[in-house]
Structure 1
Amino acid sequence: MKLLTVFTPSYNRAYCLHQLYESMQRQTSKNFEWLIIDDGSTDNTEVLVNDWINEDLVPIRYFKQQNQGMHGAHNTAYEHMETELNVCIDSDDYLTDNAVELIESFWEEHRNDKYCGFIALDCYKNGQIIGTELPKHLKSSTLYDLYYKHGVAGDKKLVYRTSLMRENPYPLFEGEKYVGLNWKYLLLDKSNELLILHEILCVVEYMPDGSTRNMLTQYRKNPKGFAFYRVELMKLPFSSLAFRYRQAIHYISSSLISKNKNWLKEVPNKGLSILAIPLGLLLYFYISFKTRGIISQKGKINEYPMA
């Protein structure tokens, strides 16, 4: 059995998926398989991937489902994984040539059940690290502490133990396609730390149709998913008061968008949420103004405004 599953949620990305496929072929270690979750693509992704499967240059498993959004594709991926470790590589990104080898050797040296996996670096095509380096003085840390105590910034690559990632599937909300992926990662912070690998594993390109670029649109289209995410982050026992207050602001904004009249009953910290109402209102008006262009003439939000 292979050690690592590289999984890729993909929606209408046939035009750029070849970069990742080519990087798979260049890997210095073959101790992996590629799991592609086609989240309802309407382009030629299925034909393209089947051609690659027939080439038999990379071990590929392919599953197509009705569109559920990124978090729904992650749920499906975790259900079908058979390896000890997994890493998500987005459809517009690709692996460094020795990424699998680095993952394999690092885990062989440090494998321990007290760790949920490890965190490594992403870079741009020019080799520049995205955001900050990881703390040199730490062997391991929770994800929360890295970002909110040690000043880490920017996207990083997360390699997780598959058995842990199968727990707590992301919820699906009817008519919506987004729940913050960090929810599952931060849940693991309650019981496990991440090892720190000071190596680049992934080359990242932020495409115009990517979720990072379209976050305000996602915010407007998926208020129930965003509200769930913010409530769950407010429950984290290790988070700071300032962190929970920020979540309360976003929760109020999302509750206003979804017209949830029961928002105060559903929030874990009612006093903090009441204090967050003024800024939550301001954020609601800002989001409404900035995303007014995604509303069609019939008053409905376009499902894929950038596709």
Structure 2
Amino acid sequence: MDNQNKKPLITVFTPAYNRAYTLHLCYESLLRQTSKNFKWLIIDDGSTDNTRELVNRWIKKDNGFQIVYIYKENGGMHTAHNTAYENIDTELNVCIDSDDYMTDDAIEKIVDKWNTYKNEKYAGIVALDIYNNGEIIGKKLPNQQSIKLCDYYSNGGKGDKKLIYRTEVINKYPQYPVFEGEKYVSLGYKYLLIDQDYDLLIMNEPVCVVEYMEDGSSRNMYNQYLKNPKGFAFLRKVHMKYDKSLKRKFITCVHYVSSSFISKNKTFLKESPSKIMTVIAIPFGFVFYKLIIFKCKETV
């Protein structure tokens, strides 16, 4: 049994924007947890539905864990993460999206893994996401103690993984930037920076059930490219500094050029950390820019 008076080890935080219709799945999965060694932090990113009323009803119940609700003006997923990190006071944290939910023993497994192997050299834990039919998303993690995310994906790794970070570590790095008129910066920005300094403990166990909703960002990537070019260009410049292979860096430059065309940034070449490769990527980036425009017209 968990000691109710003891500070929880981990904060489960959930950014939510008009997801009252599906948020109950996450809540119900937290009620089912075999360990209550956590708190639930909900960052309401400017919802106009009944999210506030729904969460307030849950808060009044005897859930066995604390629920904290914070409302903010709508700014996009990355700004919700900024707000979450400013308000988390537990050793670990994990983001469970508003259309996802945890496996029943996820908290217990995370706590046991961390208490057994925690070390200053680890930023946290990387675990598996699954579909609701139990199928692993992408590939399993390698059979070893720890890994860097960039090494996993550069060596053939595939699929979203669940990242459980030490709060102290994730707050060592800059917040996600905010660009006027835009509402998207990839969460991978912080993960990439952390990856340069830390490994993640591997836990080849599913902890999160993922449902890719039609209104989710992963379903609308071309529209994201079109609406948030400054945010994408920012991330591409960061990746240029850390991409290890020439192929990966070239693809990054192509994306950077396309985002620069969309944002009408005439100084993109001067701003690029990889100027020669960016020059080579210009015609390819222009073609990709045209493809984005075409794809977005198709979805209108």
Which residue of structure 2 aligns with residue 298 of structure 1?
none
Structure 2 counterpart of 1:146, from 142, 152, 174: 152
Instruction: Map residues 130-209 of structure 1 onto 2, 5 A cutoff.
Output: 130-136=137-143, 138-149=144-155, 151-166=156-171, 167-209=173-215
Q: Which ranges of 4 or more aligned residues in structure 1 deviate by more than 2 Å?
A: 292-295
SS in structure 2 at match of 1:116: strand
Deviations 1:133-183 (A, max 9, x none): 1112x211110000012x110111000111111221000001100011111
Q: Does 1:82 align with 2:85?
A: no
**Residue 243 (structure 1) aligned with residue 248 (structure 2):** yes
Q: Which of these residues, 283, 286, 289, is aligned with residue 281 of structure 1?
A: 286
Q: Structure 2 stretches of 5 or more lacking a match?
A: 1-6
Partner of 1:231: 237
Offset of 1:201 from its aligned partner? 0.2
Offset of residue 294 of structure 1:
6.6
TM-fit CA distance, 1:239: 2.0
Question: For residues 267-306 of structure 1, what are the structure 2 equivalents within 5 Å?
Answer: 267-292=272-297
For 1:134 and 1:279, locate their aligned partners in 2 and report how far apart those are by CA, in whole Å.
33
- 1:69 equivalent to 2:97? Answer no
Structure 2 residue corresponding to 1:99, chosen from 101, 106, 129: 106
The letter of the residue matching 2:122 is Y
Distance 1:140 1:99 in 2: 19
Return 5+ residue gaps in structure 1 as ranges: 296-307
Q: How far apart in 2 are the matches of 1:126 and 1:26?
A: 18
Rounded Cα–Cα distance in structure 2 between residues aligned with 1:59 and 1:241? 48
- Cα deviation 1:74-115 (Å, max 9, x = unaligned): 000000001000110000000000000000000001010001
How does the TM-score come out when normalised to structure 2?
0.95
The one-letter code matched in structure 2 to 1:247 is T
SS of the counterpart of 1:291? helix
| Matching of residue 28 in structure 1 with residue 34 in structure 2 | yes
Q: Which moved more, 1:11-20 or 1:54-63?
A: 54-63
For the residues of structure 1 that align with 2:299 and 2:184, how far apart are their CA atoms?
16
Q: So what's the TM-score if we normalise by structure 1?
A: 0.93
Aligned to 1:42: 48
**1:293 to partner: Cα distance:** 5.5
Cα distance in 2 for partners of 1:293, 1:132 equals: 32
Cα distance between partner residues in 1 of 2:284 and 2:201: 37
Alignment partner of 1:92: what SS?
coil
RMSD, aligned CA = 1.0
Equivalenced residues, count: 292
